[in-house]
Amino acid sequence: MSSLPPSTSLPPFEPPAAPGATAGWRAPPGCPEHVRYTLERAVNAYPAEWLEEPISGEVFDSVNECQERLVAYSLSQGFDIIVTNSATKPAPRATYCCTHHGEETRNWRKLSRTVERDEDGSIVSDRQREHTHVRQTGCKWSCTVSYKSIGKRGSGIKGYILTVKSTSHNGHPLTPNPLVYQRHRERLDEYQKLRADA
């Protein structure tokens, strides 16, 4: 019989960590077991503070460092980011959005909206495939980074400052397995090694 008072609850049971498992961030429930260790190792390789939700005013040494910080956060949360706008003049800056931003794919090649066929069933339009995968859901998650003065105006001290426009996701769920995103997989050491071996 337990000697614990009725109001006391025991912490949930956690199985012992596998040999070589990393401490710190843990993959969420629903993450497939075959990617859990790889995902946890990848996320825990980043500084712990980068796994926190971004806030306006964070300062970085470069645009690339800011991007790495946002990649770390997105990997830990179950989405991916893309650069939607960048410039180097008059000052370096970039805009990052959730990969599900926008309402429709950009039609850079000016293809027709549907596949057109002649009487024989042969494709006669410039679009060759129907049902192309579209992942835009109008998600509003967005951040910008720009090179500007830090602190008092005229101090001469500048840095890359993060501005958070929105941290809300809409139109898509956050996935327990962020490695479903191709770019997250491509960032893994294992993937780079496989590419080099191939």
pLDDT in tens, 81-132: 999 999 988 889 999 999 998 665 555 555 555 556 677 766 656 555 554 4
**What are the CB-based long-range contacts (under 8 Å, 24+) for 71-77?**
71/184, 71/187, 72/43, 72/46, 72/47, 74/98, 74/178, 74/184, 75/39, 75/42, 75/43, 75/46, 75/178, 75/184, 76/25, 76/43, 76/46, 76/51, 76/178, 77/174, 77/178
pLDDT single digits (tens) 171-195: 899 999 999 999 999 999 888 877 7
| Res 146: pLDDT | 96
Of the spans 10-14, 23-27, 53-57, 108-112, which averages the highest pLDDT? 53-57
| Res 178: pLDDT | 96
Q: What percent of the chain has pLDDT over 70?
A: 71
Q: What is the band of 3 on the pLDDT scale with cuts at 50, 70, 90?
A: very low
| Res 175: pLDDT | 95
Please, what is the Cα angle at 188 between 64 and 19, to 5 degrees?
Answer: 125
C-alpha to C-alpha distances, 128 to 106, 109, 116, 120, 134, nearest whole angstrom: 16, 12, 9, 15, 16
pLDDT single digits (tens) 54-64: 999 999 999 99
| Res 198: pLDDT | 66
145 pLDDT above the threshold of 60:
yes
Q: What is the mean pLDDT of residues 22-27?
A: 82
Choose among 43, 74, 78, 76: nearest CA to 143. 74
Report the 10 Å Cβ neighbour count for 1.
3
Spans of all domains in the chain: 33-101+135-197
170 pLDDT above the threshold of 60:
yes
- Cα separation, 71 vs 37, whole angstroms: 18
Query: What sign has the CA pseudo-torsion 81, 175, 140, 133?
Result: positive
| Res 157: pLDDT | 87
| Res 71: pLDDT | 98
| Res 1: pLDDT | 44
- Cα separation, 93 vs 148, whole angstroms: 10
The amino acid present at 150, given as its one-letter code, is: I
